Amino acid sequence: MFVIGFEVNTMDVYDSIVSRRSIRRFQQKPVSPVLLKKFVNAARLAPSAANLQPLEYFIVTDKELCSMIFETIGWAGYITPKWTPSTEERPVAYIVLLVRDINNKYYQRDVSLASENIVLTAEGEGIGSCILCNIDKKRVQEVLEIPEELQVDSIIALGYKAEYPVLEDFKDSVKYWRDVKGVLHVPKRRLDDLVHINRF
Ligand SMILES: Cc1cc2nc3c(=O)[nH]c(=O)nc-3n(C[C@H](O)[C@H](O)[C@H](O)COP(=O)(O)O)c2cc1C
């Protein structure tokens, strides 16, 4: 099945939601520009408050630009000592989310919905992603020569996965952690602790 020239992925949306984890280690294999544009297409079609669609998207695949963007990112704040992906496991592409009108009071919700569409579409294609807000926005703006009427909001790092984080039930901390084999464990609050049906 095709929608506006893009193949619709066959992975069930719920399966993508369940299997997606933030990926911070990537294979050094390029992601095709067609796929990257597909992810932006998914973002563009996200719900938008008053349908104002205040967002634009900047795809980065150029090696030199990728290196410069990499330097602007703060990775995995809970991991100590400070950790960043090694040269052999850096993202091979980025999508930078740009906001045309920050006076739009719902723009952050639009960013969130667009971001989720990107990461889920990527997951459906077997591509790992990580939403990044701990970034030097001013530097990203300079490096990519983004005109000042657009504001850098966040970045999504992308690439084929070189790690497979595991989910675990939240016990006493929300902090993700790496075990001795380097596997990332991500605690999630339990469904029965969050859901209220008919009464509190
Ligand atoms: C708004 C937002 C900002 C984030 N910023 C960063 C970031 O700057 N650096 C990073 O390594 N991860 C970042 N993350 C990823 C989160 O750490 C991750 O989503 C969380 O630990 C849950 O793990 P999961 O995505 O695998 O479910 C961000 C996620 C969101 C939603």
Q: Is the dihedral of CA 114, 116, 119, 123 positive or negative?
A: negative
The pTM score is 0.95
Lowest mean pLDDT among 6-10, 27-31, 114-118, 194-198: 6-10
- Output the CA–CA distances (angstroms, integers) from residue 39 to 59, 84, 138, 188, 190, in the order listed: 10, 25, 25, 26, 30
**Residue indicated by tokens 């006493």:** 172
Does residue 73 carry a pLDDT above 70? yes
Return the ligand 1 atom nearest residue 73 CA: 8
Q: pLDDT tens digit string along 162-183?
A: 999 999 999 999 999 999 999 9
Q: Residue 157 and residue 26: Cα distance in Å, rounded?
A: 10
- Residues with CB under 6 Å of ligand 1 are 21-22, 24, 74-76, 130-134, 165, 176, 186
